[in-house]
Amino acid sequence: MKKWLVVPVALGLVFGFSSVSSNNVEAAQKVKTYKNCTELHKDYKGGVARSSSVKNKGGKTYYKPYVSKALYDANTKLDRDKDLIACER
């Protein structure tokens, strides 16, 4: 009787782990890219920072940037001064 339970449990574990990894890939592909800073500011007024520890080279900003490594990496072209904050205001 124990052997009968081993096969379904093993198959469930194998297929369960494969579906979790495919969900992570789909989530990574859903990061939005923006054409310009005007479009990005509609969703994120302060821009997008790569991490919470980055400092703005341009001085004081009016809005705090949203922190997201994946979103920043998808929109790196919008970071003109290369301070790891895209479209800061």
Mean pLDDT within 38-59: 92
pLDDT of residue 55: 87
pLDDT of residue 18: 54
**Is residue 56 within 8 Å of 83, Cβ to Cβ?**
yes
Domain that holds residue 18: 1-30
Whether 69 and 35 share a structural domain: yes
Whether 25 and 47 share a structural domain: no
Q: How many domains does the chain have?
A: 2
Q: Which amino acid is at 83?
A: D
Whether 20 and 63 share a structural domain: no
- What tens digit of pLDDT does each residue of 12-38 get? 666 765 555 545 554 556 899 999 999
Whether 21 and 45 share a structural domain: no
Q: What are the start-end ranges of the E strands in the chain?
A: 48-49, 66-67, 85-86
pLDDT of residue 62: 87
Whether 6 and 49 share a structural domain: no
pLDDT of residue 66: 96
Whether 36 and 68 share a structural domain: yes
